[in-house]
Chains A and B, each alone.
Chain A
Amino acid sequence: MAEVPTYRTPEVITPTRDFLDKMEEMWSDPPGIIGWLSTVDHKKIGRRYLVTAFLFLFVGGLEALIMRLQLAQPNEHMVGPHLYNQLFSMHGTTMIFLYALPILSGFSNFLWPLILGTRDMAFPRLNMFTYWTFLLAGAFMYIGFPTGQGTDVGWFNYVPLAGPMYNPGPGVDIFSLGMIFLGISTTAGAINFIATMFRTRAPGMSISRVPIMIWGTLVANIGILFAVPAVSLDFFLLWLDRRFGTDFFNVSGGGHPLLWQHLFWIFGHPWVYAIVLPAMSIVSQCLPVHCRRPLVANSAVILATILTMVLGFGVWVHHMFATGLPVIAMGFFSAASFVIVIPSAVSVFAWVATIWTGRPVFTTAFKFFAAEIILFVIGGVSGFMTAAVPLDWQLTDTYFVVAHIHYVLIGINVFPVIGGIYHWFPKFAGKMLNEKLGWWNFWLMFIGFNVGFFPMHISGLLGMPRRIYTYPAGLGWGDLNLVTTIGAFLFALGVLVFIVNVVVTLLTGKRAPANPWDGDTLEWSTSSPPPHYNFGVIPHVGSLHPLWEDRLEKSEGRTILHEGLKLDEEHEIPGTTILDAEADVILKMPGKSFAPLIMALLISGVFIGMLLEWWWISGAAMCAMFPALLYWFWPSAEVGRSPKESRA
């Protein structure tokens, strides 16, 4: 067996047509189902994330529409209380866990390597694993719903209602195990993003030249690393309470129901930032392109993003003001919740200043980003209001809070996401979305959203509690709810126009040029859609705006795109240093592999066994993980981990 060389001096070349053809061949997957199941291509994974998360949005939206029909008038009985409870629980769970973060993972998976000027994520197989586990965990969380066994205690699943005494059915078990399952996917994804940021940026992309979208997602994923364990543990302890009679939340055994709420919200509030900071960074990245100037106060926005996440770990108790905590605790957390407004506002002022001092082009994408600013301000103010303890006591568990959460999550997540899809569709699919349909899409969604959700503030102030399946006439809520229902359907119509636009564009749209919006970052330097290898030679980055260097007055350096290191022996990318991004290693990336799918299926087996209490299934699946991981991590020369040529 030959020894593999441990050092190489890569040449600097200008890629030729033949070279690029060879790269395309090397980086593409085999055709058919084999290629589909074993691919580790970050672009395919990103697209799958986008499509799957959008399907969950669609399902969660249908659940919402049924609820809105039910609430349109007093005393309606289209669905009974039991189904209604499942509808709002599944709606919340779906939107918050199966749509809001996965859709952002879709963007990041697809775009990160392109923006960072490289060819793949740091851990390609782990990347594929996160998608399979997300898909399987999502399916797992839905297995009870079609048969009327869905979880019915709301997405934050408070004990003792969710405990064994009041909720013996399988719904909460499915939800609990599903959340732990999904947590594996989310955590693995976070690890991958962080390693990618710190290890695989193009040479020259020093820490001050990292585009803002990377920062938003990075910060969110560092938060995820420390927040998700709280909720996974919380659900695991609940599952032990339910299935083994432990006493974590059981008062008679020395447990405490507030432990559930603490652990849940220690996760829950950072999670809010995990699902809005990347979306805000999509706005920070794209809005300036449509305003024809760099983002105002780029560094301040990055620092504010980091500060928001840090503070986000210290405000969880504001979800628990009504639980009878000591005044000193409430005072501290109320103050922290007020303080977090400051870094949040930095982004808003930066965006407004960018529009103000730029030359905005009123594309559909621009409209969505501009609308996000307005909705963020409204949602931010209603959040600021409930940071005050006395007001929160009045408003908690009313529709005011429902209005707030939807302004925040639809306003700062869905609007940037749709805008981002208009912006990056040339990269995702190689086509330009139709701007005429985009006009209808935007105005239907924007008007529908405000007509639907703004009145909820008022019905909340009038005392309408959340999570009621119907209400008597004569309370003055009927007209407001009718308006809300009409708005919700208008909003849904807008989403439908979006889907039509995507389908029509995929079928008949015109091909997109490489850089249709005249963007500034590296993803626009490759073709639309990008080739399998992303970049023929790895770019050498000279500034924060690689494609705008000619026109910006003070550009610190020059980015070199036409020539670079020849890295063409299987899947190779340069590894770079953390701060200066100097190339210090040639990383060998793994190619197609079934290991991620096998591991994801084995983990599904563990959870199915736990749910059915068929312990031998869980045990067998766990034992099988050892050979599966041995196969996954086998040190081969192909991935640069063995001195020997032999393969696994």
Chain B
Amino acid sequence: MSATSAEPRDLSRPLPIGSAGNLTPGWWGMVMLIATESAVFAYLFFSFYYLQSMADNVWPPSGKPPLPYALGTTGALFISVFTVWFASNGIRRGIKWRVWVGLPLTGLIGIAYVLLQLVDWSVEPFAFNSGAYSSLYYTITGFHLVHTIVGVLMIVAILLWTALGHVTSERCNSVRVVALYWYFLVVVWIGIMTTFYVLPYVTPR
């Protein structure tokens, strides 16, 4: 371990300047943002399962939810994992066109997801205030919707910066960080999909 023996003059070696390497300040910031936002969703799921466990009657009260839109959004988000990885992995190797392909595609999928979710909301037979289940449904999917819109806006910002020449293979932290955020969105969606759409079909109640 060189830390015990080092003299200051041993430190005098070439060091990267600014946002470089894997563990940049921006990366730390995003990891911790994801940690705390994951906690938000964990507590939302806790609320859901707590109220479900306390429910007297059928859960969900309106019967099994319709699957088509949810399957559509799930498929779209799964594809976006690949597109955002394509961009992030590309820029690290200095292949800039992969940003121009991967990020816009991811953003478009994000927008498509938001629209599909809004359509799904409009066809649900219950309103925001028609009982605990519907309150939970709209709140949890709404939180995820807002997080996705934020993700799309991040992509817009990074595309702007890429166009202005701020993003290169050495300065690609913003792309990596947004990819990390996008993976988080998809993981949360798996939780939502499981909770609202899969479990009602596989559990007896």
Contacts and interface: CB of A to CB of B under 8 A. Distances in A.
A246 B130 CA distance: 7
A8 B8 contact: no
Contact of B43 (A4, A229, A246): A229
Interface in A619-648: 626, 629-630, 633-635, 637, 639-644
B15 A626 contact: no
Contacts of B157: 629-630, 633
B80 interface: no
Interface in A235-253: 237, 240, 244-248, 250, 253
Contacts of A418: none
A247 B47 CA distance: 12
Interface residues of B, number: 64
Contacts of A255: 51, 132, 135
Specify the main secondary structure of chain A where it touches its partner: mixed
B11 A643 contact: no
Contacts of A123: 25, 29
B96 to A, nearest CB: 12
A203 B13 CA distance: 13
Nearest to A195: B28
A454 to B, nearest CB: 38
A5 B17 contact: yes
Nearest to B21: A585
A122 B25 contact: yes
A585 B17 contact: yes
B3 to A, nearest CB: 4
B108 to A, nearest CB: 19
B72 to A, nearest CB: 27
Contact of B2 (A122, A560, A582, A644): A582
A230 B6 contact: no
A296 B203 CA distance: 56
Given A191-B29, A206-B3, A639-B18, A262 B171 contact: no
Given A12-B8, A225-B35, A256 B50 contact: yes
A232 interface: yes
B44 interface: yes
B122 interface: no
Residue of A228, A556, A564, A635 ringed by the most chain B CB atoms within 10 A: A635
Contacts of B161: 634-635
A580 B131 contact: no
A643 B18 CA distance: 10
Interface of B: 1-9, 11-21, 23, 25-26, 28-29, 32-33, 35-37, 39-40, 42-44, 46-47, 50-51, 54-56, 61, 128-133, 135-136, 139, 153, 157, 160-161, 165-168, 170-171, 173-174
9 contacts: A6-B18, A198-B28, A233-B40, A248-B51, A253-B131, A253-B132, A263-B43, A581-B3, A586-B16
Interface of A: 4-12, 122-123, 126, 187, 190-191, 194-195, 198-199, 203-204, 206, 225-226, 228-230, 232-234, 237, 240, 244-248, 250, 253-256, 259, 262-263, 266, 540, 542, 556-557, 560, 563-565, 574-575, 578, 580-588, 626, 629-630, 633-635, 637, 639-644
